Structure 1
C-alpha cells in the first residue's frame, strides 16, 4: 500500500515509529496529486516547495528526538476562504487573487501546531456561496465519482481531494451544508462541528465583522476518509484561540447519555420529495445502529419546515444586504446568476421579520434541546436528492430544486448543532449518505454512531477520477 492511501491515524503512526518519513509521505501525496488533480481540479494552489521544506523540518525534528505532535508529517489541505500566512485568501474571486494574508487563521495554526503539512489550497465557488465549486479565478472542480454532477460546495475541492487521496484531512467550513454536502457528493466523511467548537477568525476580514446569522451558523470542520480521522482532526482543530470570542473550551467527550441511546430517524424530510435511495440510506443507518444496541424510531423533531423558513429569512436577508453587492461587483457570471435566483425565490425580509426570525430561532432551539434530551441522536439525509447536475443553479427553477434538496442540511447550521456526514449505500456511480446530528458539544455522540455505521458499511478508500 502506498503512503497516500493511508488515513491520517495510520500515517502519523508510521511516521512516529520511523517506518515512514514525512518527506516520503509528502512525496507520495504529491505523486498522487499530479496524477489525479488535473482531472478534477480540486487543489487550485499547489504548495509543493513549502510542503517539502516543512517535511524536511519534520524529519529533522524526529531525528533529534523531539516529542512529536499528533499529525506530525501528515499531508493536509486548506480551503481557499480562510487566512493562511503568505497565501491569498482569494475565495475564488478574481479581484482578491493577490489578497495575501499576513497571519494564519486559528484552524490553520492549529493544524500546523499539530504537525500537519499543508500541501495546497482547495477550490470553492466565488465567495463560497454555491453547492457547485466553480469560479472564474480557479475554474470548476469535478466530482471524481461522476463528473457530470457537482462535487458539492462550498468545500467541493476539499471533498474531491479527500476522495481521491490528495491528503488525509481536508479543511472545510459550513453555514448551510458546505462540509456535509461535499462529503456526501464525493462519498467521504465530513464533520460539521457545533457552534463555538473550533475557533474561527480571519484577520483579513476582522475589521468588517460579520452579520449575526453568520456568527451563529458558520463553523469549520474536516473532510476525511475514516471516522477516526474526523475525531482526530476535531481534537486538533479545536485547540483554543482567543482571537475568536465565541470559542468554547469544553471536553471532547461529554457525560454518558442514558443507555440505550435513542435515535430519531427522519428518512423523508417534510416539505420536499426525498429520493428513495436517500430515504433507504437513513433507514439502513438505523438498522446498523439498532444492531449495535441503539433504540431507533422514525419520529420528527420539532419545527423542521419552519426551521427552513427561518434559515432563509436570516441568511438571505443578510446576504442581500452584505454579500450581494460584492457578488455583483466582483463575482463571476454563474455565481451572480445563482445568487440572483436564490434571492428571487427566497426574498430578503424587512427588519421586523428578520428580528422576529432570530427570536423565533431561539425558541426553536429550546424545543430542540428538550427533544434531544430524549433523543440524543437524529439521522436525516444529507441532501434529500442525489447530487444535482453541474451548473443547474443559475435559474429560478434549478435553484428552487436545489434548495428543496438542501432542506435537511439547513437545520444543523440554523441551530448551531454538529452534524456528521457518513456514506451509506450506493446509487449508480454515487454513494448515498446520511447526516448524524446531536446536541451542541456532542460531536462525540455523532462520531461514536458514525463508527458503528462505518464498521457496517466499510471504510472509504481513495478512488480514481471517473470519466463522464
Structure 2
C-alpha cells in the first residue's frame, strides 16, 4: 500500500510501530496520546468523528501505562496505543448512548468484554466514535452528536454504523478503533474511508456487555436484544493496515461463555501448504456493479494471482444471494417488535430510514411475513452455514465487492424513497456475511475520482488469519495514499 512521506509525528505511525516504540521506550504513551489529541483538535471539529472526549482521563491512563513500562511488568501487545470506542459499546463511566438522547444520561457501570480485552492488551481508550441512532443505518448521524463526515469527500457517507471509527482512523485521530457489525457496520465504513475492517467469526470476540438500560416515562427499563443480535452481531477492529488489524484482532479475541454465542477456545487452524484458492464472486444477479467497483475487483484479483493464488471467477454465488435475502427477513422481523421504542426515543431520521428498510424488505418477503416463514428462515440459515463451510473449508476464500456502488451520497436512505430502495440490493455483500456468521475483511485497493474503493475477502469459520494473509497480499500491491500524504 502506498504511504505518506516519512512520518514526522507519532500519530502518523501504525499501531504496530507504535506498540514496538512504546515497548522499546522510544516514545511514551503520554507523548503518543498528546500527539493524537493534537491531531483530533486539528481535524475533529470538521469531521465530527469522535465525541465525548475526555483528554485528561486519557492522559491519566497513558501515565499509568508509562509507569508499567518502566516497572518491569509484562506488557500487552497494544501497550500504550490509543483506540477509539464506539458509542454503542459499554465503557465504564460513559453513557452507551447509541446516538439517542434518551440513552445519554446513564453511565455504564462496567466495560463490555471487548473493551476489557483491549485494556488488558494495554490499549488506551481515547474518544468515543460516532454512529447513527440505534446504530442502524449505513450513515453516521444522530440527534445527540450530529453528523460525521467522510474525510475523503464530505458529500459521501463515511459508512455506518461505525462511521466515526473509520473516519477518525482515516484522518489520523487514532491508530486503532473498535466497532461492531451486524449488516456491514465495520466493513462498509472501513471501505468508505479507505481503511481495513475485520468482521470476525461469531463467538471469537465476546459480545458480552453489562445490562443496557433506557430511561422511559415508566422508569428505567432493561433492554433485551433479539436473536439476530446474538447470532449475527460481532465486535471487531478497524485499522489503517492489515498488520494492525491482525494485531488488534488477536488482542480482542476473548473466549467468554457469558456471550450466548461465545466459544470456550478459538480452534487452532493449520495453515495450508500452498496459497489458498480464491473464487471471485462479481455480483448477485440482480444489481449491476459501478465500473469502479469492477475495476477494484479486477485489481484485487490480479494482486492475489501475483501472490500465487489460483483465482477463479463466477458471475454469482446463489448461496450468498440467498443469505442476503434471509438477512432482510430475519433482521427486519427482529426489529419489528422494537419499533415502538425506536419511535418513542428516536428522531425523524431513524424513523424515515426504518420506513425505507421495511419497504425494501417487503419487496422480498411481503408486508408481514408470518411466524412459519420466520422459523423456516432460521432453519434455512443453518443449512446455508453448513454449505458455505463445506465450500470454503480451510483452504479457499471468496473475493467479492463491498457494495455494488461507490460510498453513498449523504442521507441517500432518507431523502428519496426510490433511492433508498436501491441501497438494499447494492449492499448484498455486506448483508450476506453476518447472517451466516463467517469472517470477512475489507481492504482498500485504489482511489478513483477522489474516493477509495475496497474489496471484501470471506473465509471459512475461524479462518481469520487465512483471510488476513490474502488481504495483506492485496494491500502490499495496492496504491492507496494516506490523506495526510
Q: TM-score range by the shorter chain?
A: over 0.9
Distance 1:375 1:235 in 2: 21
Distance 1:213 1:62 in 2: 42
1:398 aligns with 2:409: no
Query: Aligned-pair distance for 1:375?
Result: 6.4
2:256–2:263 CA contact under 8 A, matched in 1: no
Cα pair 1:114 1:236 within 8 Å, conserved: yes
Comparing 402-411 with 11-20, greater Cα deviation is found at 402-411
Does the alignment pair 1:179 with 2:194? no
Match of 1:102 in 2: 109
Equivalent of residue 303 in structure 1, options 298, 310, 319: 319
Identify which of 420, 437, 442 aligns with 2:441. 420
- 2:407 aligns with 387
| CA shift for structure 1 position 448 | 0.3
1:216 aligns to 2:231 (yes or no): yes
5+ long unaligned stretches in structure 2: 1-7, 214-221, 363-367
Secondary structure class of the residue paired with 1:425: strand
Q: 1:318 aligns with which of 327, 330, 334?
A: 334
CA gap of 1:436–1:114, structure 2 versus 1, over 3 A, is: same
Structure 1: tracts of 5 or more residues without a match: none
Q: Deviations over 1:50-83 (max 9, x none)?
A: 1000111111122222221111110110000011
Partner of 1:445: 466
For the pair 1:48 / 2:55, whether they are aligned, the reply is: yes
The structure-2 alpha-carbon separation of the partners of 1:297 and 1:40, relative to structure 1 and needing over 3 Å to count, comes to same
8 Å contact kept, 1:264–1:375: no
Larger displacement relative to structure 2 (396-405 or 73-82):
396-405
Aligned residues: 463
- The separation in 2 between residues aligned to 1:298 and 1:76, in whole angstroms, is 38
Shift of 1:344: 1.9
DSSP 3-state at the match of 2:377: helix
The answer to whether the 8 A contact 1:187-1:460 is kept is no
* C-alpha deviation, 1:326, in angstroms: 1.6
Contact 2:130 2:163 in 1 (8 A): yes
Distance in structure 1 (CA, Å) of the matches to 2:233 and 2:465: 20
Q: What is the match of residue 68 of structure 2? A: 61
Is residue 350 from structure 1 mapped to residue 351 from structure 2 by the alignment? no
Equivalents in 2 of 1:260, 1:158: separation in Å? 32
Give the aligned partner of residue 287 of structure 2. Answer: 272
2-structure distance, mates of 1:274, 1:162: 27
Equivalents in 2 of 1:189, 1:169: separation in Å? 10
- Which of residues 150, 162, 174 in structure 2 aligns to 1:167? 174
Change in Cα spacing, 1:18 to 1:106, as seen in structure 2 (3 Å) is: same
Deviation at 1:262, TM superposition (A): 0.7
Does structure 1 retain, via aligned residues, the 8 Å contact 2:152–2:483? no
Matched residue, 1:240: 255
> Residues 83 and 450 (structure 1 numbering): CA distance in 2 closer, same or farther, change over 3 Å?
same
Q: How many angstroms apart in 1 are the aligned matches of 2:263 and 2:335?
A: 27
After superposition, the C-alpha distances for 1:321-343 in whole angstroms (9 at most, x for unaligned) are: 22x22211111111110111111
CA 1:98–1:335 in structure 2 vs 1: closer, same or farther (change >3 Å)? Answer: same
Query: How far does residue 240 in structure 1 lie from its aligned partner after superposition?
Result: 3.1
The answer as to whether partners of 1:267 and 1:278 remain within 8 angstroms in 2 is no
Report what 1:434 is aligned to: 455
3-state SS of paired residue (1:194): coil
Rounded to whole Å, the distance in 2 between the matches of 1:303 and 1:114 is: 38
Which residue of structure 2 aligns with residue 23 of structure 1? 30
Comparing 2-11 with 367-376, greater Cα deviation is found at 367-376
Establish whether residue 290 from structure 1 lines up as the match of residue 305 from structure 2.
yes
In 2, Cα distance between equivalents of 1:415 and 1:336 = 27
Show the counterpart of 1:93.
100
TM-score with structure 1 length normalisation? 0.96
The answer as to 2:259 corresponding to 1:256 is no
Q: Secondary structure at the match of 1:35?
A: helix
Q: 1:301·1:371 contact (CA, 8 Å) conserved in 2?
A: no
1:132 aligns with 2:139: yes
CA contact (8 A) 2:284 2:317 kept: no
- 2:446 and 2:479 in contact (8 A); partners too: no
Q: Secondary structure at the match of 1:393?
A: helix
**Aligned counterpart, 2:245:** 230
Could you list the per-position Cα deviations for residues 206-243 of structure 1 after superposition, in whole angstroms to 9, with x for gaps in the alignment?
96432222211100111100101111100111133332
Cα deviation code 1:11-51 (max 9, x no counterpart): 01111111100110000000000000011000011121110
Paired with 2:198 and 2:480, the residues of 1 have a C-alpha distance of: 16
Q: Distance in 2 between matches of 1:243 and 1:281?
A: 40
Contact 1:307 1:414 in 2 (8 A): yes
